[in-house]
Amino acid sequence: MSLGIAIGARVRKSPYFDKTIEDGVTSFSVYNHMYMPTGYGDPLAEYDRLINGVAMWDVAVERQVSLKGPDAEKLARYLTTRDLGALNIGQGRYVPLCDHRGTLINDPVLLPIAEDEYWLSIADSDVLLFSRAIAAERGFDVSIHEPDVSPLAIQGPKAVEVVSDLFGDWVRDLKYFGHREARLQGIPLHVARSGWSKQGGYELYLMDGQRGGELWDIVKEAGQPYGIGPGTPNYIERLESGLVSYGADTDDFTNPYEVGLGKFVSLGREDDFIGKEALKKIHADGIKRQFVGYKIEGEALAAGNQHKWPVKNGESHIGFVSASAWSPRVQSNIGVGLVETAFSEPGSKVTIQTDTEGGDLSATVSKLPFDIPA
C-alpha cells in the first residue's frame, strides 16, 4: 500500500521544510496545522541514531503560545493543573492543561521567558484559542500570540557533544527543561535541554523563521564528527519510554490520572485552576482506565497501527492499543494504550484485535517504561 499526503499551501510549513526534503524525508503527519516529518525511509537507522548516536529533528510543530503582559504569570498558573511554586526565568516545567471537565487538552512545556512573558510549548491542540478565551472571560491583562519560534531537536547520547561544540561548555550545566537565549552565527535562538525522548538532548528554539535553512546546515555540519543524521520524534523509543502522545493515546474523555500525569495535578493548591473541581471528583471516585504497556506476541509488527486496536477480554472490549511496533531493545512487539483498571496490573493477559494479517494477538500488560535488558 502506498498512501500519500497532499502537500499544499493550506497547511503550514516548518522553516526547515525544504531542508528535510533535501535530506530525504519520506513521510509527514499534520500537527498544530503544520506538516511534521515522521520518517526518512529507514526506521531502524533512525532509531539506532537516537539510541546510540545523535539525530536532528524538525519539531517546529511544537508551537509556542506566548502569554505576555502584567497578568501573564497569573494566566499561566490558572491554565495549568500543576503547582508551579517559584518560577524562575530560564527554568521550564512540564505542565498538563485540562478543560473544566478535567479532561487533558494539552501537555506543554512552560518556559518563563521574562517577568511578563511565558511560553507554552504545546502539543497538538489549539491552546491559543482556548487561552485567549479564558483570558478575556477572566478579564486578565495579557496578550496572547504565536511568536516566530521553531524548535529543532538534537537528541541522543552524543547530542551534548554537538551542542557544546556549537555553544560552549555551559550547555552541559543546563538542567532538564533549562533554557537560555543565545546566538549562532548571528541567528537568534534559545537553547533548551529538552526533547521528546529519554535519550537526552537539546532543543534549539529558532527565533527567526527566515533562517531555518542556515540553522539546519550549521547543526548538520557540527554533527558530522558524531555521525548525526536526520530523524523525527521516534515512534519506537517513545513506546519503550512510555512517553504519552497527546491525541494518539488520549481521547475526549482522558484525564491526567489515567495517563500517568497525576503527579502534575496539585489538588492541594490554594488558588483556583481550570478543572480543579472536576479533577477533585475524578480523584475521589478513582480512575476507570489506565495507560499501560503491552507485550504483544506474534511476528514482528511494522511500526504504526493505523487505527486504535481494540483490546479484549474474551468478547468484552476493555481498552485499546494506540501505537505499536517491534522494539529492538525489549526484543518483543510492544504497544501502549488505555485499558480498564481491572486489567491494568502488569501480567494481565489480554487479546488485541489487530488489523494486520496476524489478526487477533495475545498480549501481556506491562509497566511503563518497559524494562530494557542490559
Binding residues for ligand THG, per CB under 6 A? 59, 62, 94, 107-109, 121-123, 151, 194-196, 203, 243
Judged by beta carbon, residue 109 or residue 279, the one nearer ligand THG is: 109
Cβ 122 to ligand THG shortest distance, Å: 6
> d(Cα 166, Cα 157) in Å, to the nearest integer?
16
Closest distance between ligand THG and the C-beta of residue 230, in Å? 16
Looking at beta carbons only, is 102 or 151 nearer to ligand THG? 151
> What residues are paired with 184 via a beta bridge?
187
Q: Which is nearer to ligand THG, 348 or 366 (CB)?
A: 366
Amino acid sitting at position 145: H
- DSSP at 175: P
How many CB atoms are closer than 10 A to CB 253?
13
Q: How far is the CB of 82 from ligand THG (least distance, A)?
A: 9
- The Cα 279–Cα 289 span in angstroms is 15
Q: Which is nearer to ligand THG, 82 or 295 (CB)?
A: 82
Q: Which H/E stretch holds residue 131?
A: helix 127-138
For the bound state, the minimum distance from the C-beta of residue 163 to ligand THG, rounded and expressed in Å, comes to: 15
Q: In terms of CB distance, is 94 or 343 closer to ligand THG?
A: 94
- Beta bridge partners, 93, equal 110
Pick 126 or 277: Cβ nearer ligand THG: 126
Helix axes of 127-138 and 72-79: crossing angle, nearest 10 degrees: 110
| Closest CB 298 distance from ligand THG, rounded Å | 29
| Closest of 214, 165, 163 to residue 188, by C-alpha | 214
**Residues 244, 261: contact at Cβ < 8 Å?**
yes
In the complex, minimum distance from the CB of residue 216 to ligand THG, in angstroms, rounded to a whole number: 17
Distance CA 233, CA 257 (A): 24
- In sequence order, the 6+-apart residues with CB closer than 8 A to the CB of 374 are none
Grid coordinates belonging to 229: 543524521
What is the closest distance, in whole angstroms, from the C-beta atom of residue 67 to ligand THG in the complex?
15
**Contact of 109 with 95, CB cutoff 8 Å:** yes
Of 94, 89, 28, the C-alpha closest to 59 is 28
Nearer to ligand THG, 71 or 117 (CB): 117
Identity of the residue, 123 or 321, whose beta carbon is nearer to ligand THG in the bound complex: 123
224's CB contacts (< 8 A; 6+ apart) are none
Q: Could you give the C-alpha distances from 258 to 32, 244, 285, 288, in angstroms and in order?
A: 24, 11, 13, 8
Compute the half-sphere exposure of residue 356: CA atoms within 13 Å on the CB side of its CA: 20
Residue 71 CB contacts under 8 Å (≥ 6 apart), including other chains: 135, 140, 141, 142
Q: Smallest distance from the beta carbon of 97 to ligand THG, in angstroms?
A: 10
- Cβ 36 to ligand THG, closest distance in Å? 11
Cis bond before residue 37 (omega within 30° of 0): no
343 contacts 313 by C-beta, under 8 angstroms: yes
59 or 296: whose CB is closer to ligand THG?
59
Nearer of residues 59 and 325 to ligand THG, judged by Cβ: 59
- CB of 255: closest distance to ligand THG in angstroms? 16
